[in-house]
Chain A
Amino acid sequence: MNDIRTKIRQFILSELLLDESEENLQDDTPLRKGILDSLGTVQMVSFIESEWEIEVGAMEADDTNFGTINGLVPFIERKLQKQQKQ
């Protein structure tokens, strides 16, 4: 599961937060305040879908799931668990 967190962090730092020090990005940093704009959100959706081969529903990229890293990680975990059961 730490693997998910690490990959999400890397994606944010390399695509959305260039010039930022790694330690400043916390798990509860609000992403919807200037970091994850509309283009950033679709890039994140696309990254998650290709990285973990899951589908993110049109309505799922909301404040709860995409608001912080703490929201994103369990969201992806739930998706993966659901996929395994099927």
Chain B
Amino acid sequence: MPGSKQGVHLADYIEASVDRFPNRTAIVGPDGRSLTYLELNSLAAVVASFLSSRKIGAGDRVGIILPKSIEAVAIIFGIFKCRAAYVPADWTSPVERNYTILAECNVKALFLDDRLVKPLKAAAGGNLLPDTVVSVPYSGDEANREDECTRWKEVLLQDPLPSKATERTKDDLAYILYTSGSTGKPKGVMLTHSNACAFVDWCSETFQPVPEDRFSSHAPFHFDLSVLDLYVSLKHGSSLHLIAEDVGQNPRQVAQFIAERRITVWYSAPSILAMMVQFGKLESVDASSVRLVLFAGEVFPVKHLRCLTNLWTDPTYYNLYGPTETNVCTAAKIETPIPQERSKPYPIGYPCSYCEAMVLDESGKLVKDGGEGLLYIAGPSVCAGYWNRPEEDATRFMERDERRWYNTGDVVRFEPEAGYIYVGRRDRMVKRRGYRIELAEIEKALYCHEQLTEVAAIARSEPDGVKILTYVASATQERPSVIQMKSFCADLLPSYMIPDRFIFCDRLPRTSTDKIDYQALAQSSQEGN
């Protein structure tokens, strides 16, 4: 079948689509501007030529801190064309956190929203940004440009790099996605083209995309859900409709977007779908174009999923599961309608065709069906490892039966008639709005507050999702207000990590070995304190 050829490099997909559908619309930006496949490929070739002129090539990392736009997509493919890897950071996150990411993986070039040039330079202090910083205008004018930045206009003057000017290999690094780290610092997950292609090709078989499909792009590009949106759509000659970050958090605007753009394939974390069910006025929205609803990243509360499937009766629904390190590795098709009496969450399903899964107990012994244990995944989608974290690689990856396995840290149970059932975590990682949050990263940020002497963050599951509670002790009688604490966190953490509650204590409970007693805090939180 055309379009379902197995890929070795993500840039091959778009180049094959250009040959077949040069004049079809490839991407439509949040502002309505669009690019055909020919235009997208040409713009990507111009970006590649510019990067090559700056001696950027195989294995080099190129940072992207941009809002969603057609240019950002062209930049990604331009990076691929010269065999470099992109490192996307959240342009709405605090600049200090983004600077840490760029510095950690030593980006050689950076495409930066022009409004962020000054704040990022300030965050860098006396340290240097990469030699090549391209300031990309937010609104067409380049008023904020700094002299040492290359202007986007200058990049556009380059002659395009011919296709396949460089020898690509499947093991080229494609992108590094940063997720919250248990040491308190974000950690970079390195994914190769073959990692991504294994997943994209599975999507081709499973979801049968066609050129007439219109994919939504709800997830930001630093979130692994964007891999499906970007590459599955463009592989098949479909069109990709980018949703701006602020619109993406507004359930009514998202619902209108789906109707206006006649979206056929939707993929997101469950949280926005749940918000749409509750606040999106879906009963007055025409979503008849939607044929597939895919969700991943966290548990979808069944009451909201039932409402959605009752309102949108035509689409096929899938629950996809997988950490950034493996991309999607199990999937479950949801049978609709959902029975009224069902309250337990849906299973995460069976392994995708490219994956193997096993469940081990703490001592490394295989757990029999029905028993609980840690889920391990092997196969071509399993990432190359963490950027510059050999100790983390050693704890999360292992060789067994001549395969390389990733320990997801997720506790599951296998039931032959349902597949894998997600049970929970034994560590301090939680999920909110589909994002991974290491509670230690929140604590590290709080310890930066000069008045706080002790801090502890805990998560509490509530019907509408996870709440993050922080217990803090202050050095002085005069405590910072909750408003001050929230504002302080907003300067250091992405919005999804800002704690819901701050509870001041004289001192935090300690165990007999003088460690913070998280169990006591968890218990006290359940009692409503």
Binding site for B on A (CB under 8 A): 17-21, 24-25, 29-30, 33-35, 37-39, 41-42, 45-46, 58-59, 61
> With A42-B275, A59-B253 given, is the CB distance from A37 to B498 under 8 Å?
yes
Q: Within the assembled complex, what's the spacing in Å between the Cα atoms of A61 and B250?
A: 9
5 contacts across the A-B interface (CB closer than 8 A): A17-B483, A18-B500, A19-B504, A35-B483, A38-B495
Of the stretches B400-408, B420-428, B485-493, the one at the interface is B485-493
CB atoms of B250 and A24 under 8 A apart = no
CB atoms of B501 and A37 under 8 A apart = no
Q: Within the assembled complex, what's the spacing in Å between the Cα atoms of A30 and B487?
A: 9
Q: Within the assembled complex, what's the spacing in Å between the Cα atoms of A58 and B281?
A: 11
What 20 additional pairs, Cβ within 8 angstroms, besides A17-B486, A35-B486?
Answer: A17-B483, A18-B482, A19-B503, A20-B481, A21-B481, A24-B482, A29-B483, A34-B486, A34-B487, A34-B490, A35-B483, A37-B496, A38-B433, A38-B495, A39-B271, A41-B249, A42-B250, A45-B279, A46-B278, A58-B256
Tell me the residues in window 405-437 of chain B with beta carbons closer than 8 Å to chain A beta carbons: 433
> With A19-B502, A39-B275, A42-B275 given, is the CB distance from A58 to B483 under 8 Å?
no
CB atoms of A38 and B250 under 8 A apart = yes
A16 CB to closest chain B CB (Å) equals 9
Tell me the residues in window 486-529 of chain B with beta carbons closer than 8 Å to chain A beta carbons: 486-487, 489-490, 495-496, 498, 500-504
A11 CB to closest chain B CB (Å) equals 15
* CB-contact partner of A58 in B253, B498, B501, under 8 A: B253
Contacts of B500 in A (CB 8 A): 18
A25 CB to closest chain B CB (Å) equals 7
Q: Within the assembled complex, what's the spacing in Å between the Cα atoms of A37 and B275?
A: 13
Report if B385 contacts A (CB, 8 A): no
Scoring A33, A34, A35, A58 by chain B CB atoms within 10 A of each residue's CB, the highest score goes to A34
Scoring B481, B486, B496 by chain A CB atoms within 10 A of each residue's CB, the highest score goes to B486
Question: Top 3 A-B pairs ranked by shortest CB distance?
Answer: A34-B486, A38-B249, A34-B490
A21 CB to closest chain B CB (Å) equals 7
Chain B contact-residue range equals 20 to 34
CB atoms of B253 and A33 under 8 A apart = no
Report if B251 contacts A (CB, 8 A): yes
Contacts of A37 in B (CB 8 A): 495-496, 498
Binding site for A on B (CB under 8 A): 249-253, 256, 271, 275, 278-279, 433, 481-483, 486-487, 489-490, 495-496, 498, 500-504
B488 CB to closest chain A CB (Å) equals 8
CB atoms of A24 and B249 under 8 A apart = no
Contacts of A61 in B (CB 8 A): 250
Contacts of A29 in B (CB 8 A): 483
Contacts of A58 in B (CB 8 A): 250, 252-253, 256
B227 CB to closest chain A CB (Å) equals 23
B69 CB to closest chain A CB (Å) equals 19
Q: Within the assembled complex, what's the spacing in Å between the Cα atoms of A20 and B487?
A: 13
B282 CB to closest chain A CB (Å) equals 13
Contacts of A45 in B (CB 8 A): 279
Q: Within the assembled complex, what's the spacing in Å between the Cα atoms of A61 and B253?
A: 11
Q: Within the assembled complex, what's the spacing in Å between the Cα atoms of A55 and B271?
A: 23
Q: Within the assembled complex, what's the spacing in Å between the Cα atoms of A68 and B141?
A: 30
Contacts of B501 in A (CB 8 A): 18-19
Contacts of A25 in B (CB 8 A): 483
A40 CB to closest chain B CB (Å) equals 10
Chain A residue nearest to B272 in the complex (CB): A38
Q: Within the assembled complex, what's the spacing in Å between the Cα atoms of A21 and B489?
A: 19
Q: Within the assembled complex, what's the spacing in Å between the Cα atoms of A33 and B489?
A: 9
Contacts of A18 in B (CB 8 A): 482, 500-501
A55 CB to closest chain B CB (Å) equals 10
Contacts of B502 in A (CB 8 A): 19
Chain B residue nearest to A32 in the complex (CB): B490
* CB-contact partner of B487 in A21, A33, A38, A41, under 8 A: A33
CB atoms of B275 and A24 under 8 A apart = no
A8 CB to closest chain B CB (Å) equals 15
Chain A residue nearest to B279 in the complex (CB): A42
> With A37-B495, A38-B495 given, is the CB distance from A20 to B483 under 8 Å?
yes
Chain B residue nearest to A45 in the complex (CB): B279
Q: Within the assembled complex, what's the spacing in Å between the Cα atoms of A35 and B499?
A: 10
Contacts of B495 in A (CB 8 A): 34, 37-38
Scoring B278, B481, B482 by chain A CB atoms within 10 A of each residue's CB, the highest score goes to B482
Contacts of B489 in A (CB 8 A): 34
Contacts of B251 in A (CB 8 A): 42
Q: Within the assembled complex, what's the spacing in Å between the Cα atoms of A21 and B485?
A: 13
Q: Within the assembled complex, what's the spacing in Å between the Cα atoms of A75 and B482?
A: 26
Scoring B256, B275, B278, B481 by chain A CB atoms within 10 A of each residue's CB, the highest score goes to B481
Q: Within the assembled complex, what's the spacing in Å between the Cα atoms of A53 and B376?
A: 52
Contacts of A38 in B (CB 8 A): 249-250, 275, 433, 495
Chain A residue nearest to B271 in the complex (CB): A39
Chain A residue nearest to B490 in the complex (CB): A34
